[in-house]
Chains A and B, each alone.
Chain A
Amino acid sequence: MSLLEVKGLTTVVSGYTILNNLDFSVEENELRVLLGPNGAGKTTLIAMITGQFKPTSGKIYFDGQDITGKSPDAIFRAGVSRKFQVPNMYETLSVYDNVLISLRGDRKVMNNIFRGTTSEEKDRVWEILEFVDLTDRANDPADTMSHGERQWLEIAMLVASRPKLMLLDEPTTGMTEEGKYRTADLIQRIAARHTVLLVEHDMHLVRRIARRVTVMHQGHVLAEGPLAEVVNDETVKAVYLGKSGPQ
């Protein structure tokens, strides 16, 4: 069985069908890129998987268990971490603390009262900060960072949470070209140990890292396969790549 399996997922919001009987699956240790024009339902799919919204019908299985309709925190604990489209972090906490409380560990209230930080946890936070090259900013509040740095911090938080499936929703928005390369590099290194589902618009980046891609259109899967195959697919060219095509 696949790590993530979405079966017949349909979402109707005030008469509009956002997701239309969508079938989709991600295998373990895969780096999958999700493509699709604006409004194709990529972010909605991610919102459904992580429990932000409940589907109208259909089922989502993760790691063998049915997670349809569970709360976001329960789905996280099952092993799914999500990076939001707009960097989403704890603004007044330091970069260090942002990563620290993202470490996978006990989330129960009673077990966190008066709990300190073990030296393993500290080492782990520093390792992760080194990984995303933010050690210099460790003591700064997150809200003093640039947009690109915030994206990396959120990626660092996801790495800290040691998920079975990492969902990255457009992690390079607002980045410079160098930043994008660096992020592509980060994602590849993360994908060596994690299952990653990446939503990305930037074709340069996709070409750089993609192995297998899924193209969504109007709430269902239009095509799926290796990048080279998919970009040459006539229907994909017609609906997604359009007149301009990949550069």
Chain B
Amino acid sequence: MPDRAHSRHVRRSRLIPIWALLLGAFIVAAIGSVPYYAGNDSYVLLLLGKFLCFAIFALSIDLIWGFAGILSLGQAVYFGMGAYFVALSLKINYAMEHPTRYGSKFPDFMEWNGLKELPGFMTPLISTPVAVICALIIPTLLAFIFGVITFKRQIYGVYCAVITLAEALILQEFIIEYQAYLGGFNGITDYGNFVGAPFLWLILAISVAFFILARLITHSRIGTVLKAIRDNDVRAEFMGYNVANYRIFVFCVSAFMAATAGAMYAAWVGIVSFLDAGPLLSVEGVIWTAVGGRATLIGPFLGAFLVRGLEFVLSGSWFANYWQFFMGVLFIAVVLWIPDGLVGTIANWLRRRRRGSIAQIRAEEDRIAHDQQRDWEPAGAAKSGEEVV
């Protein structure tokens, strides 16, 4: 038998490998300097900030779908709530400084819908800090309540996906129904925006911070436990882990990220609509994540930029009419041919080149084991002297 005493090595990827740190720093610098060579209010800049918000949104999906196996088809609920709180606050403040045609100092869409003044329960939103706190905390609380209701009752998998989808539909209908308060079909518009270098840097900083946060979570013990629960929730439960609590935790973190992305999105683009809170964006987020690579964390960034970028490039052509059809085909193609997404497929390919495929490794080991079979002593084969148990 070969000496195994010296083989105590655990193969683990670093939190942030050096090459990734350098590449990441380069990309961040490249994005951060766009205002200097593309102008401070260019369309490219607008798109860039928008894509970054969508990328954070996709990251939040990757955290629950890739690492905890929770497929949410209603993640846009949290994105949308974050966006609406901020948009409402900005709109209210904008209206106070820019009276409507009839001289009222509250949002025009409320006036059109017959309201005489700003509803009392919305007055706290005049304060920006209150609005920001609401935008981040209320969606997280909602995620917590949702998590307690579903995960504690062991509703999981497809059922969870269906319920989250219903959640997104409900919020979308709610927004359309309460047109006087939330703008309905028209959304909330005309409240200015924050397009410019400082806010881009804020979005960029938060993207990096969330990426590192997600990386920290997935690289710590809780990340291993989450992956374990994703692989086999029954085993984890019989190993003493309260599976529901772990799912609730990661669902809340994910909702917080999505809400932050939504809040920044509303301030950046200066328009929100019911579509930003509905099933369509939710499913799009899932597609970006799948295209980029599930359980890779960087995949969602790549996926969001690539798919959104492609949509932008093709938007002027005849092809634009078939865009959603194309999205469906793309999703099916990814699931069929590169189920690990772009990043996952490339990473697997590199790993295989370095170490040989798992099949090769297994074949080699089987051969060695076969050669060693002669040495096998059946009874009392275990080494004497050490008692572990």
List chain A positions with a Cβ less than 8 A from chain B.
50, 52, 71-73, 76-77, 81-82, 84, 88-94, 96-98, 100-102, 107-109, 112-117, 122, 126-128, 130-131, 133, 135-136, 138-141, 144, 157, 159, 161, 177-178, 181-182, 185-186, 189-190, 192-194
Contacts and interface: CB of A to CB of B under 8 A. Distances in A.
Interface of B: 4, 7-11, 216-217, 220-222, 224-225, 227-228, 230-232, 234-243, 245-246, 249, 358, 361-362, 365, 376, 378-382, 386-389
Contacts of A130: 4, 386, 388
A181 B232 contact: no
7 contacts: A84-B238, A113-B222, A114-B222, A136-B4, A161-B239, A178-B378, A181-B378
A115 B222 contact: yes
Contacts of B9: 138-139
Contacts of A178: 376, 378
Nearest to B213: A114
B109 to A, nearest CB: 42
A126 B4 CA distance: 11
Contact of B245 (A102, A109, A192): A109
Contact of A101 (B217, B225, B382, B386): B225
The 10 closest A-B pairs by CB, nearest first: A76-B240, A131-B388, A115-B221, A90-B231, A90-B228, A181-B378, A112-B222, A139-B11, A112-B221, A88-B235
Contacts of B242: 71, 73, 107, 109
B32 to A, nearest CB: 28
A186 B220 contact: no
A62 to B, nearest CB: 14
B240 A77 contact: yes
Contacts of B236: 90
A112 B382 contact: no
A182 B379 CA distance: 7
Nearest to A166: B389
Contact of B227 (A72, A90, A135, A189): A90
B10 A189 contact: no
A101 B378 CA distance: 31
A35 to B, nearest CB: 22
Given A73-B243, A93-B227, A115-B221, 20 more contacts: A50-B238, A73-B238, A82-B238, A88-B234, A92-B227, A101-B239, A108-B245, A112-B222, A115-B222, A126-B8, A127-B388, A130-B4, A130-B388, A135-B7, A136-B7, A159-B388, A177-B378, A181-B379, A185-B382, A189-B389
Contacts of A133: 382
A76 B358 CA distance: 34
A71 B245 CA distance: 13
B235 A128 contact: no
A132 B251 CA distance: 37
B362 A101 contact: no
A89 B243 contact: no
Contacts of A161: 239-240
B66 to A, nearest CB: 11
Nearest to A76: B240
Interface centre among B236, B238, B358, B365, by most chain A C-beta atoms within 10 angstroms, is: B238
A55 B290 CA distance: 43
A154 to B, nearest CB: 8
Contacts of A97: 224, 228
Contacts of A185: 379-382
A190 B376 CA distance: 21
Contacts of A98: 228
Contacts of B381: 181-182, 185
A133 B241 CA distance: 27
A93 B32 CA distance: 37
Contacts of A127: 386, 388
A193 B249 CA distance: 37
B224 A101 contact: yes
Contacts of A88: 232, 234-235, 238
